[in-house]
Amino acid sequence: MAKGGYVHGYSEREAERLGDQARTLTSLLHHDTRYPPGSRVLEAGCGTGAQTVILAKNSPGAAITSIDISLESLVRAEERVRSEGIANVTFRAGNLFSLPFAPQTFDHVFVCFVLEHLPDPGCALASLRPLIRPGGTVTVIEGDHGSAYFHPESTAAHRAIQCLVDLQKEAGGNALVGRELYPLLASAGFCDVQVSPRMVYVDASRPALVEGFTRQTFTAMVEGIRDAALEKGMMTQKDLERGIADLYRTCEPDGVFCYTFFKATGTVRE
């Protein structure tokens, strides 16, 4: 990842949450990302490697270079990848805005859950484009916290989610960036930009998603900013606890939870 504010922190629990998220959403987000053997792929902002494992397994013949600005995250990412027996990934430290690669080094660039944490995502995309050969592609995946809705309805839960949005904005990021992917890629000079929404719909008939997404991914993410939100006086402790409890309440047999991710692709003009 590039220099910016990672509002979720770098705790062991956050690394676990990212792993839960990646495993739960593999089919939804990654089924149509496959790179041919011999491809040179840059994963820009690999974090702790949760997405790296999926990327590498989907394209075992590709040569993947995964970069991140956090040395601690890189150590965890390499441990995660090696534990899976994956050998087609090389890790390097780097800042998205000043990467040490020559122009047209890569055939493809993959960016997942990174732009939301950057103060200038458009600049990041523009800095990545020269690294891609003519005819090569970029793939970007981001969430949008404004897309969350659920049953039973809860004003406190919506306010708790808004705390996360506001904290990310204060840290220089944008938790609503998913809806902006088309103009961001187009403005950065990519051609043939296409964006597809990927909705996660969860009810009791999908217990794996109830546990893996609603409980362990999304609600755990909101719960993780409790202390920061209280410290800044964004909500009273009573109301924030009510909001978090109401999000967990959507995991009950009569609960429903929806959230939309956005996946964008673009090409570099030949």
8 A C-beta contact, residue 196 and residue 263: yes
What confidence score (pLDDT) does residue 97 get?
92
Compute the radius of gyration of the chain from its Cα atoms.
18
pTM: 0.90
Q: What Cα–Cα distance (Å) separates residue 161 from each residue in 4, 72, 145, 151, 173? A: 21, 28, 7, 15, 15
Question: For 4-8, 58-62, 257-261, which range has the lowest pLDDT when averaged over its residues?
Answer: 4-8
* Whole-angstrom distance, CA of residue 11 vs CA of residue 72: 10
Q: What does the block give as tokens for 215?
A: 């409980």
> Please, what is the Cα angle at 219 between 253 and 140, to 5 degrees?
115
pLDDT above 50: residue 1 = no
Q: How confident is the model at residue 2 (pLDDT cuts 50, 70, 90)?
A: very low
Looking at residues 2-8, what average pLDDT do you find? 47
Contacts for 222 with CB less than 8 Å, ≥ 6 apart: 160, 161, 163, 164, 243, 244, 247
What confidence score (pLDDT) does residue 16 get?
56
pLDDT above 70: residue 222 = yes
pLDDT digits over 231-242, tens only? 999 999 999 999
pLDDT above 60: residue 215 = yes
Q: What is the average pLDDT score of the chain?
A: 92
Looking at residues 49-59, what average pLDDT do you find? 95
What confidence score (pLDDT) does residue 53 get?
95
**In the chain, where the domains are located:** 12-267
What confidence score (pLDDT) does residue 17 get?
46
Looking at residues 112-133, what average pLDDT do you find? 96
* Whole-angstrom distance, CA of residue 83 vs CA of residue 73: 15
CATH annotation of 12-267: 3.40.50.150
* Whole-angstrom distance, CA of residue 253 vs CA of residue 212: 15
What confidence score (pLDDT) does residue 23 get?
65
pLDDT above 80: residue 184 = yes
What confidence score (pLDDT) does residue 242 get?
98
What SS3 class is residue 146?
Answer: helix
